[in-house]
A and B are shown apart, each in its own frame.
Chain A
Amino acid sequence: MTSLNLEPLNLIITGVGGQGNVLISQVLARALVGQGLKTTVGETFGLSQRGGSVQSHVRVSRNKIFGPLIPEGQAHAVLGLEPLETLRVMASYGQPDIQVLVNARPVQPLNVIAGQDRYPADEALLDALRGLAAKVWWLNATAEAQGLGAAIMANIVMLGALTATGIMPVEAKDLEEALAEVLADDRLEQNLAAFRRGLELID
């Protein structure tokens, strides 16, 4: 865990509708508010959840509520649940010092499925991200989640990984508490295992 030395700290959580973007932004923000930090999360709901790109903008400050949208070129970190969406946000919000965590498992856009567009190869995506970010963690979060019983928990694995990087001013125990508050009891154990698996993914 680091202390908050950016004012505000700007994190984008990005992915595709249905990957549980909103859930982890909520859990993270709960833990941050619990630390006495002013936290704003701008979320995208609704139609975008029907297969579209979904972003949450998380903004953390010591003393001020910021607007729900991060200004262009001012994201400090990206938590990407899907590789294409992770690269997509770099154009609008990236800057040279940005740190990026990315789940390597693609969700193909419909135009790719239909053969009208191409999904870039892993190496091309990773090279592009490395060229635009100060640090990139390329993680097999979906595979880890599948190993723990449900691919849908890739978001929680990624939340664990984010926590282990120390980018956010929260500790693992704060997030585990927030998970316990937000998730139903019968899902908690499995999700805590996913979270802890995510913690281990970062050296």
Chain B
Amino acid sequence: MDDMAGDHPGAEVLLQGNEAMARGALEAGVAWASGYPGNPSSEIIETLARAASEKRLYVEWSVNEKVALEAAAAASFAGMRALATMKQNGVNVCLDALTSLALSGIKGGLVLIAADDPSSISSGNEEDSRFAAALAHLPLLEPATPQEAKDMVRFAFDLSERIGNICLVRSVSRLSHTRANVILGELPGGRGRPRFDTSRPFITLPAVPHHQVMYDKLDQAEAEFEESPFNHYEGPPKPDLMIAACGPSYLYAREAVEMLGLEDRTGILKLGTTYPLPQKFVAEHLAKAASVLVAEEIDPVLERSLKVLAAETGDRIGAKRFYGKRSGHVSPTGESGPGLVARALARIVGREFEPGDPDYRRRAAQVVDELVPPREFGFCPGCPHRASYWAIKQVLASDDRQGFVVGDVGCYTMGIWPTGFNQVKMAHAMGSGVGMSSGFGKLDAMGFAQPVISVVGDSTFFHAAIPALINATYNQAGFLLVVLDNAATAMTGFQPHPGTGVSVTGERLSRISIERICDAMGLEVTVCDPYDIESTTAVLRDRLRRLDTVRVIIMRRPCALVQGRADGFDYRMHVDENLCRGEECGCDRYCNRVFRCPGLVWDASSNRARIDEVICVGCGVCETVCPAGAIVKETI
């Protein structure tokens, strides 16, 4: 990580997009960085945290994205440069704060990096956070490469300070998680002390004049964007077709034009400042061609802005034919890529396009189709969630009231799939499961009698479940809350949270106890270890008996990946070949078919279940699964 933080201006190093954005913030003299973890944004905060003590900046994982932005705003109000980072869902969480802050304005440069996830590679949704720019009247930058990501974040702080408002930077997974050469810039020297000027309050009222000020600030940003090095045109002076591209789609467009050999007919208008559009610059280049293909990811946001501009300037730049997501040349769902842009381009110019060697590709597709089964997502070997859902499954299956599980956001969302025995029947936003359970828990008066189990992770509990739990408790809703406490924000990379007792920069902090929060609401809490299937099942069965109020079970066991790195596991597992009766057993391969742990496989040659010693971590949970008792755990 020395590469990211080193004071070597001009050095060319390999940086991940997220590291490059962190570097850009350091070059801008950032004093504060806060965020909530979420793919693909997490490494920005983690990278800054590693540099925190040397560069004297404060870095925190905040409890949620709204608090992250508000806390960063405080640093800005006190004159310091501050950064808030999050994934697309986080922008929704902080939106109320964002639109208010945009009205009041800010002082020290305040930058919000939102990392979107086209193709939902690691998200519960596929959402375009760029709408927030228009909604909150804030300038928006869209970097294409790690180099530009660094440079744009650096610039965003200056712009934010000059216009007195927040500046948004939008990344996507293929930028945040792309490593490439980055040439470092200079790191600043010292910086001032935070001080709040009491003669200059930050308030939203009177709202109407402030609303006008937001428009004025956007005009100021637009004037800067007219001269921005982040926008350029490349291609012939009079192209037949113009591709307007932003983010990594610029690189895809460049490669697509080369693949089709259309360099002499096609121009690329590379746009890095996409809201507000620099109207003069864009109109001047749009005037060059009658046809425009828009290359961008997720929703047609740039496409709409360009169409508005074309409508307003049509008398000067001529009528345009637009191709993109609205015309069906590019899909509005899923991530882009060089092949997808090439296909759109080929269709527009009336050419056939098949990537690579068509005969070979047909042959390869046939072989793969015949031989290669899909690989579904699953809990890791030793994952405590598998054990928790196993216990829940046993209890619900033996209860004739048709109970069900309301899910939430984290690794345990995978309870919707066979790896979690399809137990989870709904999953939405952070904390939503507890809110919905609060609703289910009040339907009894109308005759609803199905027991509801609400599962929520430890980090999600702190992030958004507490208000919902207060709501449920106060309004006397009845359900079983199961907190799956694995001592980490696991899905996004094991980040600490208020229940872990450690900060992102490694300081020891006082743990905030989930039990005591529940206790303060007057709720009965039981803690159990999900690896102990027998007692977990017994506790679940008992607590589900009567649900006239909220009852809480905390299933506590560290994430297997964390435990594997720390203390390791207690057992060595093996299948007793004499007890396992293979396919002759009436269980029909119960352990494989239903339990589905990647470490417990089928050995076709011996016709027996077998532990894959490379994959099994030794959690011991599967011991209870075999009806013949053939799975044996030995204490190491």
Contact = CB atoms under 8 A, between A and B. Distances in A.
Interface in B308-359: 337-339, 342, 355-357
Nearest to B256: A71
Contacts of A85: 375
A109 B376 contact: yes
B374 A18 contact: no
Given A45-B177, A67-B251, A128-B367, A112 B355 contact: no
A132 B364 contact: yes
A52 B259 contact: no
B372 A74 contact: no
B492 to A, nearest CB: 7
A46 B39 contact: yes
A131 B367 contact: yes
Contacts of B147: 65
A124 interface: yes
Q: For chain A, what secondary structure do more than half of its interface residues adopt (helix, strand, loop), or is it mixed? A: mixed
A38 B375 contact: no
B372 A29 contact: no
A114 interface: yes
A115 interface: yes
A46 B598 contact: no
B181 A94 contact: no
B622 to A, nearest CB: 12
A110 interface: yes
Interface residues of A, number: 62
A41 B368 CA distance: 25
Interface in B173-198: 173-175, 177-181
A16 interface: yes
A95 B178 contact: no
A72 B14 contact: no
B422 interface: no
B558 interface: no
A26 B177 CA distance: 11
A52 B379 CA distance: 10
A40 B177 contact: no
Interface in B1-48: 12-14, 16, 39-40
Contacts, number: 205
B252 interface: yes
A109 B357 contact: no
A68 B337 CA distance: 9
B180 to A, nearest CB: 4
Interface string A99-114: 0000001011111111
B596 A42 contact: no
A188 interface: no
B338 A94 contact: no
Contact of A94 (B14, B251, B364): B364
A119 B178 contact: no
B210 to A, nearest CB: 39
B481 to A, nearest CB: 24
B172 to A, nearest CB: 10
Contacts of A107: 598, 615
Question: Is the interface on chain B under 10, 10 to 19, 20 to 34, or 35 or more residues?
Answer: 35 or more
Pick from A16, A72, A119 the residue with the most CB of B within 10 Å.
A72
A67 B338 contact: yes
A73 B414 contact: no
Contacts of B355: 71-74
Given A71-B259, A73-B360, A132 B367 contact: yes
A39 B180 contact: yes
B592 interface: yes
Nearest to B365: A91
B367 A51 contact: no
A87 B363 contact: no
A190 interface: no
B356 A50 contact: no
A48 B593 CA distance: 22
B356 A46 contact: no
Contacts of B375: 16, 51-53, 84-85, 109-111
A165 interface: no
B378 interface: yes
B74 interface: no
B181 A39 contact: yes
B131 to A, nearest CB: 23
B483 interface: no
Contacts of B368: 87-88, 90-91
Given A33-B181, A51-B375, A67 B252 contact: yes
Nearest to B379: A50
Interface in B234-286: 248, 251-252, 254-255, 259
A108 B355 CA distance: 31
B356 A73 contact: yes
22 contacts: A30-B14, A33-B181, A40-B180, A41-B179, A41-B180, A43-B16, A46-B121, A47-B123, A51-B375, A66-B255, A67-B248, A71-B337, A71-B338, A71-B342, A74-B355, A84-B373, A91-B367, A94-B356, A113-B592, A115-B592, A128-B367, A132-B360
- 6 tightest A-B CB contacts, nearest first: A73-B356, A46-B122, A67-B251, A117-B373, A46-B39, A51-B378
Interface of A: 16, 18, 25-26, 29-30, 33, 38-48, 50-53, 65-69, 71-74, 84-85, 87-88, 90-91, 94-96, 105, 107-115, 117-120, 124-125, 128, 131-132, 142, 146, 151
